[in-house]
Structure 1
């Protein structure tokens, strides 16, 4: 079972119970593991909501680790007998795994591009729903030893910068802001997830890294964040969808509704995510 993640996990816990209590509809070709009397709409013959049970695996962008862990913990509390397991990684890696048949019930991407790969391959059960957005921020080690103050500083000789690989949403966003600002950053490494970038900055292996606002906030005093105006040229929108191959479609759809509902949105907002 997943344990709550600090204060994020407790935020609007009561509201999450209300927001997800009625979630019982099937998603796509998935099947419900609830009562045998439940219909395709997730209700029993008497018209009451069918109980949710069983487990699902959620493939989610690395930048969602803290918030989704919190939402998952509260979801399990709201629905005793359910288990939510997560696979956090770069969105491009996740969609490749799904395309190759990896068992997953829900996919949450850090951009529309990688979600489109799933929808084009008819892997999603219905249309994805946008649930959050995020922008880039410069992360530097505590004390900012390289004295970084702007995006242009990242292009200075001798500055060790780490970014995400171009195929990863945070890497694509980095390339967009560089073009908009006419800044040519030459990174010392390109990572497969935003958390890897953050880790190298926090450890002092890099002078700076381009990560999301939410990653800087979540890292606490491990890094310092530097805002830059050009970040507005690349706002990443996050979509989520239940998957057709889900073995528990009702539970998968209920989790999607928990993320997009009031309590899930409250947890995301507390972490620094903006509305989609």
Structure 2
């Protein structure tokens, strides 16, 4: 380990340790936080990560005696704020380009791959329409529920997936609900108003929906790339860089990654996650 008096060397060491937990440099376990008892770490993330972040944060707090002040909201809005005058210690955002913009603007010191989302079909209990694949959304009589006006990337991502699968126009003709909220889509499917919709697997793990619908896999070749990637990085304005770096290392450790897997994400350190890291170039520059 570099000498504690060499701040730059220490940061580089901790950064390498965090990346190693993602399988970039090899295996590593979670770090103890370099923070004083009761110290506050300001963490911002895409709201879609909240169900995984909250228990991970609680565990990190319990292990290290610090407080994680967490904000989960629309990633693009948070990113815009951080590109301006807003400050945070750690940011976990959606879409790789956002992390790159923060790095290029000097607002983020470094980032690591955190997890990837995945898309599935949802049907009412028992799958009464017999949906087996995304191509079935084009069959006559199938009642499709979409949410084209949902907050990005929700609605747009589903449309992009259907287009990539070659069934967008037929699915649109079969659409019985064009909504503006992904969670309302789930309610429409639960009520039987529709036969099928395209959602992120994470949505099916939310407490109000878990175990209540049928989930049908979608071939990953149809997934639209931009919304898949979530990264986590240490911000340039972090008050305690060592604490922020230890927190990031925890999130990308096996213990931290388990929270994301339980919520339907593909952990970055998993075999599939490592493949996606390489496929989409989810690496700091």
Structure 2 equivalent of residue 43 of structure 1: none
**Residues 169-180 of structure 1: matches in 2 within 5 Å?**
169-171=153-155, 173-180=157-164
- 1:273 & 1:171 partners in 2: Cα distance? 18
Out of 258, 265, 268, the position equivalent to 2:250 is 258
* TM superposition shift of 1:220: 1.2
The whole-number CA distance in structure 2 between the counterparts of 1:115 and 1:164 is 26
Q: Indicate how the Cα distance of structure 1 residues 138 and 97 shifts in structure 2: closer, same or farther if over 3 A, else same.
A: farther
* Cα distance in 2, alignment partners of residues 203 and 121 from structure 1: 47
1:215-230 mapped onto 2 (5 Å cutoff): 215-218=203-206, 219-229=209-219
2:204 pairs with 1:189: no
Structure 2 residue 124 is the aligned partner of structure 1 residue 134: no
Where structure 2 has 5 or more consecutive residues not aligned to the other structure, the ranges are: 1-28, 274-285
CA distance in 2, matches of 1:166, 1:144: 24
**SS at 1:119's partner residue?**
helix
Alpha-carbon deviation of 1:251?
2.5
Out of 252, 270, 273, the position equivalent to 2:262 is: 270
Give the length in aligned residue pairs.
Answer: 229
- Residue 87 of structure 1: SS of its match in structure 2? strand
Q: How does 1:199-210 map to 2 (within 5 A)?
A: 208-210=196-198
**1:172 positional shift:** 5.1
* Cα RMSD for the two superposed structures: 3.3
Deviates more, 1:227-236 or 1:142-151: 142-151
Give the superposition deviation at 1:226. Answer: 1.9
SS of the residue aligned with 1:114? Answer: helix
What TM-score results when the alignment is normalised by the length of structure 1?
Answer: 0.67
Question: What is the deviation of 1:74?
Answer: 0.4
Partner of 2:21 in structure 1?
Answer: none
Report which stretch shifted further, 106-115 or 169-178.
169-178
Deviates more, 1:225-234 or 1:164-173: 164-173
CA distance in 2 between counterparts of 1:167 and 1:121 reads: 26
Partner Cα separation in structure 1 for residue 80 and residue 191 of structure 2: 29
Equivalent-residue separation in structure 2 for 1:273 and 1:142 (angstroms): 23
Do residues 234 (structure 1) and 224 (structure 2) align? yes
Shift >6 Å, 4+ stretches: 203-206
